[in-house]
Amino acid sequence: MRKIAGVVVMVGALFGAACGNADEPASTTSTTFVDATAAEADSAFVSHLQEELNHLGYHSGHVDGVWGTETADALVAFQADHGLEETGHYDAATAAALQDAAGDAGALSVEALQQMLGDLGYYDGLVDGDYGSRTEDAVSAFQTNSGLEATGSMTHETVTTLVERHDVEVEQQHITAAKSNGIGGVENLPSGSTAASDEWLQQGSSGSDVAELKNRLTALGYLPGDAGDRLDAATSSAILAFQEAEGLMRDSIVGPEVEVHLAKPEAAGPKSDDPGPRVEVDLDRQIMFIIDAEGTVTTVNVSTGSGRQFQSAEEGKGIVTAHTLTGEFIVQRSIDGLREAPLGTLYRPMYFKGGWAIHGNPYVPGYPASHGCVRTANDDQDFLWTVLSDGDPVSIYGRNPDLPPDASAGA
């Protein structure tokens, strides 16, 4: 099952994680909304609905948070198959039928569920999207510890409690630790929700302006996804990388200041003019430069060591500090697939020293949130694999505390 894309990259709506073990939350269950007008106007909810309809085989279009004919037609088909009035709108009867049809997978993205439970210490299995016995047992343990009925199913109350606890126990600690350690350039993180104008481009926007935005980001060396006219998760990630590179507010929203910089960018590029293929990771701006064999530079968002303390997976190490190494390295080995490591699941990791790796993850916020690995979006990691190979150089620089004595591989 694909992760829900409707809320990715918007920092205020995302949840922190450790190296290879995190994700953003999906929106809550279908029963949250019973008013069609309110539901269909909420982009995060529409993304969730599209994801559910995709999972059930009724929707094959973009998961973009935009209520359009594709979404309405998919809902009509679902309603027809379940003996409901074919309105093409989200009403209470449709909500109940979707909840029954989607089951546990509809309550929260299973990948997100597994990774959030992992962050809180309830799940240590593979983050694979399979709602199996290990996931069910972890949900039951979480429910028991949270004073909820231990059903093992993701009820609305369980989702709400999980999101609230993750925000307090994981997310806010990541941000606080990053700021106290002076790493990752977190001074431009939004404080609370962003009051964006309806005219500004953001997740769920569509039209010719979005198509022009994608073309511009592509021309500037970012990865905004396909050439369509919808602002989806990949485009949001590219906007975030652009904002980080330019030293702007990190909210994945194209407001007036972003437009000025898009017209006349000021960001410094790679420090070195050495030939590629190679990569540079800038800890200050939380970006990575990918330089191919022809010298073309592509800039992507990354998330590195949070500076938080955590329980090491290495025997006898105890409590250690999340830290990303700086210096000059090479890709020592690569795994073309999922790697279930002690600290979580890594997507297509490229190891550059011991257990430290550049790897894909469903959740890459605009600030340091890993155990020490260099985390990229899964799509960006796929792109990296087209450029980088074993033996290619990896340069990491920027603000980071001196290597702590308690740092461990993969921390």
pTM: 0.68
Look-up of token digits 């369980």: 158
289 and 231, same structural domain? no
What is the three-class DSSP state of 56? Answer: coil
* Choice among 31-35, 117-121, 215-219 with the minimum mean pLDDT: 31-35
The whole-number pLDDT of residue 5 equals: 24
Higher per-residue confidence, 293 vs 159: 293
pLDDT of residue 224: 92
Span 315-328, average pLDDT: 81
> The domain that contains 149 carries what CATH number?
1.10.101.10
pLDDT tier for residue 230 given thresholds of 50, 70 and 90: confident
Q: Contact at 8 Å (CB) between 333 and 304? A: no
Q: Is the pLDDT of residue 79 over 70?
A: yes
pLDDT band at 400; cut points 50, 70, 90: low
Q: Does pLDDT of 27 surpass 60? A: no
CA angle 208, 209, 214 (to 5 degrees): 95
* Whether 254 and 282 share a structural domain: no
In tens, the pLDDT along 176-211 reads: 777 776 767 777 776 654 555 667 898 778 899 999
pLDDT in tens, 36-78: 565 566 655 676 677 678 767 787 766 666 788 888 899 999 9
DSSP per-residue letters across 307-328: --EEE-SSTTT-EEE-----EE
Residue 404 confidence class, pLDDT cut points 50, 70, 90: low
- Is there a contact between 222 and 241 (Cβ–Cβ < 8 Å)? yes
Please indicate, yes or no, whether residues 245 and 291 belong to a single structural domain of this protein.
no
Tell me whether residue 141 is exposed, middle or buried, using C-beta atoms within 10 angstroms of its C-beta: 0 to 12, 13 to 18, 19 or more. Answer: middle
116 or 84, which is more confident: 84
Domain assignment of residue 407, yes or no: no
Q: Write down the pLDDT at residue 26.
A: 30
Average pLDDT, the chain: 78
Residue-range definition of the domain harbouring residue 384: 278-397
If asked whether residues 155 and 69 sit together in one domain, one would say yes
Q: Contact 347/378 with Cβ under 8 angstroms?
A: yes
Residue 223 has pLDDT above 80, yes or no: yes
Residues 160 and 86 in one domain: yes
Statement to judge: residues 234 and 132 lie in one domain: no
In a domain? residue 133 = yes
Give the CB-side neighbour count of residue 255, counting CA atoms within 13 A. Answer: 13
